[in-house]
Chain A
Amino acid sequence: MILLIQYTLIFAAVLILVALGGMFSERSGIINLGLEGIMVFGAMAGAMVMVLLPSHASKATIIILTLVAAAVAGMLSSLFIAVACINFKADQTLIGTALNMLATASATVIVKAFNTSRSDGTDFSAKLDYVTGHKAFLIHIGELEVSWFIIVAALLLICSTVFFYKTKFALRLRACGEHPQAADSVGINVYAMRYAGVLLSGFLGGLGGIIYIAAANSTWHFDYGVAGAGFLALAVMIFGQWKPERIAWSAVLFAVFRSLSNVNGGIDFLANLHIPGTIYNMFPYIVSLIVLALTSKNSRAPKAEGIPYDKGAR
């Protein structure tokens, strides 16, 4: 049972951060289908920092540098979306998909090259081991093993919620996703706001990426990308109606199903049902399909999302 809670917390943290990222981007008017790719870049950068840091580095150094690396990598990769969609007014769906394909492929290539050069040609796998780094994040509360990652995610959730509802900046950002012409007419720079939205999604998506691979594992094969977690986060965002508090709840719901696939053997009741593990693995994806099919009729996406803003057109 404790294992279930542990895994649920981890997956919830990932889904919350990435879905919040998607929310900020879409609220500013840019559909971000590239969350998956952003996560991969964030994960790769964070993992590399953990591998490269000397073994005597203090815990705090490891934690901070890893998080910073993941966030920065996420933001840099999201710039790809920002430049293409805002400056060049490219199709946002295509650009997001392109980033996803690019991310997994280039992560594989980069990590392989990285391993090859470090091992003098004996190791050319796309796998990174970061046992020390993984351990640095762990803290124990009683029997429960939690990770600094989860605390960071909880703090960011609170900050995001306050930011979203209470600040001038977020009010302007939301206006740009609904009615950019109106925002423009009161002197708001729509392009800048959309850049901000996309960069925020890069920041949160990158962090989500490193949490996904490092909170429960001490090793990762980068040729798997992040196994659709970014898309799951998109489903969470839609189910959460582009609102932070609802995103938090739906992330927990999805996370429960996701963690069942990891721990079903450890819970007697479930183990006795003798359902093959693959069924549990399918669970979160099937649930997201069903949930979205049932709720999407009432979902209300930001009105201007997906439409490039053109100052001249009226």
Chain B
Amino acid sequence: MDKDDYVIEMLHIRKEFPGIVANDDITLQLKRGEIHALLGENGAGKSTLMSVLFGLYTPEKGIIKKNGKEVRIKNPNDATALGIGMVHQHFMLVDIFTVLDNIILGAEPNKFGFLTKEAARKRVIQLSEKYNLKVDPDAKIEDITVGMQQRVEILKMLYRDNEVLIFDEPTAVLTPQEIDELMKIMKELAAEGKSILFITHKLNEIKEVADRCSILRKGKYIGTVDVENTTKEELSSLMVGHSVSLKVDKKEAQPADTVLQIKDLCVKSKLHNKDCVHNVSFDVKAGEIVCIAGIDGNGQTELIGGLTGLENISGGQILLDGEDITRKSIRYKNTHGISHVPEDRHKHGLVLDYSLEDNMVLQRYYEPKFSRFGLLKRDTIRSYSDRLTKQFDVRSGEGARTVVRSMSGGNQQKAIIAREMDRDHKLLIAVQPTRGLDVGAIEYIHKAIVNERDQGSAILLVSLELDEVMNLSDRILVMYEGEIVGEVDPKKTTLQELGLYMSGAKKDTGKEA
């Protein structure tokens, strides 16, 4: 391969939005057949750069070259015509359409406007066999797993004969198994001669698949490195501009009194007539971090739902400081010592179209501190919100009045953490608190959680990230098919052992949890 055989070159790209320069003189050169990672924190300009390449934005300055020739990309159609395809972070799939319909949408084979799907179906099956992308062409999107939906997105690009494939944070929504599979597929695609741009902030994944890596920071181009000769620590300090500790610094836990006690908790499944949380019992003490590990969909969400009141409990008991709160309302639980950082920050954590300050008092607006005679005390709310955002370093465009939807994911999450930690609580429930966040924000949130623990809170953490589970927790409970199948000490266990529990291959039976 020619050393400088570039399939795509983006030279000196500059893109401004009102108030900020999202891309400032960025150069990105993609070699044919390579996997090129694009690394940067949230808000570093990765997505903007890719949107420029995909024709969603027009840059103010700079040129794009395809195979050495300058091209103009004004819209996604131009990008497709040039063989550029993209798997968006939020999948661009129509739920009620079949897999096949989604793949052909926009490039439909037709005769006089009438669809001719047979040839397309053969082609899709052929492609899915060739690249080992298992899908059922006639299944509806709403019925298949997230991993399979992603394979549909990849097939969409292959169906259009795209040779430059952009993956925008493809692993954020996948389980560890699905991530492994995706990495394998990406390598195969590259071996076939496709060129891949891989946007991420997960260093492990870059080390595993990428050949080269370009780093962006605050809209500026920092450099391009060969992944093989660069350590994870070097990559992360290039990304955030100072060195970060990937290990969580924490002292030995000092467990005190039991705060949360769960006895034989059962939660009914919404999908079928079975318990998806089955006779779960455990307790959490003040000053310790208990982590529930497991593969996504093994009842963790429902367990937390039952605990916080978001879902109905079909049996069992929940005690908080000895008080039975099983049948209490969500507000009662909120005001009597449970703080909750929910799994889905958009659905359960924030009202996206409310301002930051209103989100900060979501559970407390009625307290005398924030309202009088049913009228909100706007000044108090404003100053309260300002104090929290300052203390927790939540960044937003217009301060307390910012509409939360316009904030970055990391800052939205920080806002929730700030709100939940500031409320009086004995127990903090954090479900995937760092999902989809960059290294800087993860480090911050981990520190905040450990700090909470040292202040004497009981902490129940649910995480799918094994690194997080191992680094942060003092005690690990593994959930499999709605049951707790094992309790391990993170200092004594290995990832392999944890994996055995998570896949159901190993169980501690007859053990009192």
Contacts and interface: CB of A to CB of B under 8 A. Distances in A.
Interface in B106-125: 106-108, 110, 113-115
B377 interface: no
A174 B80 CA distance: 22
A215 B3 CA distance: 77
A167 B76 CA distance: 23
A311 to B, nearest CB: 9
Interface stretch (B95-103, B187-195, B236-244, B389-397): B95-103
Interface residues of B, number: 25
Interface stretch (A38-46, A123-131, A175-183, A268-276): A175-183
A187 B95 contact: no
Contacts of B355: none
A184 B92 CA distance: 9
Interface in A208-222: none
Given A167-B114, A167-B115, A187-B80, A172 B106 contact: yes
A185 interface: yes
B77 interface: yes
B256 interface: no
Contacts of A175: 94, 97, 105
A183 B105 contact: yes
B114 A178 contact: no
Contact of B113 (A168, A174, A179, A185): A168
Binding site secondary structure of chain B: loop
A187 B93 contact: no
Contact of A178 (B88, B97, B156): B97
Contact of A183 (B106, B107, B110, B156): B106
A186 B92 CA distance: 9
A246 interface: no
A154 interface: no
B121 to A, nearest CB: 15
A166 B77 CA distance: 24
A172 B105 contact: yes
Contacts of B88: 185
Q: Looking at A166, A171, A172, which has the most chain B CB atoms within 10 Å of its CB?
A: A171
B75 interface: yes
Nearest to B80: A187
A163 to B, nearest CB: 9
Nearest to A300: B96
B220 to A, nearest CB: 23
B76 A186 contact: yes
A194 B236 CA distance: 46
A180 to B, nearest CB: 10
Nearest to B406: A313
Interface string B50-75: 00000000000000000000000001
A169 interface: yes
A180 B110 CA distance: 22
A187 B92 contact: no
A174 B115 CA distance: 14
A36 B91 CA distance: 37
A181 B51 CA distance: 14
A135 interface: no
Contact of B92 (A166, A169, A172, A181): A181
A183 B114 CA distance: 19
A188 interface: yes
Contacts of B94: 174-175, 178-179, 182-183
A186 B93 CA distance: 10
B47 to A, nearest CB: 9
B154 to A, nearest CB: 14
Q: Looking at A172, A179, A184, A300, which has the most chain B CB atoms within 10 Å of its CB?
A: A179
Contacts of A179: 92-95
A181 B77 CA distance: 14
A181 B101 CA distance: 16
B106 A186 contact: yes
A181 B105 CA distance: 13
A182 B93 contact: yes
B214 to A, nearest CB: 23
Q: Looking at A166, A168, A171, A181, which has the most chain B CB atoms within 10 Å of its CB?
A: A168
B75 A187 contact: yes
Given A178-B94, A178-B96, A303-B95, A184 B114 contact: no
Given A178-B97, A179-B95, A185-B76, A169 B106 contact: no
A182 B113 contact: no
A219 B17 CA distance: 61
Contact of A187 (B76, B102, B113): B76
Given A171-B101, A178-B94, A184 B113 contact: no
Contacts of A168: 108, 110, 113-115
A175 B92 CA distance: 10
Given A179-B92, A179-B94, A181-B92, A166 B105 contact: no
A187 B101 contact: no
A188 B106 contact: yes
A174 B156 CA distance: 18
Contact of A182 (B80, B92, B104, B107): B92
Contacts of B108: 168, 171-172
Contacts of B95: 178-179, 303
B58 to A, nearest CB: 12
A175 B101 CA distance: 10
A174 B95 CA distance: 11
Contacts of A171: 97, 101, 104-105, 108, 115
15 contacts: A167-B114, A168-B108, A168-B114, A172-B108, A179-B93, A179-B94, A182-B93, A183-B94, A185-B76, A185-B88, A185-B92, A186-B80, A186-B105, A187-B76, A187-B77
User: What 5 A-B pairs come out closest when comparing CB atoms?
Assistant: A186-B106, A182-B92, A187-B77, A168-B108, A185-B92
Given A168-B110, A183-B105, A187-B80, 6 more contacts: A171-B97, A175-B105, A178-B97, A179-B92, A185-B86, A187-B77
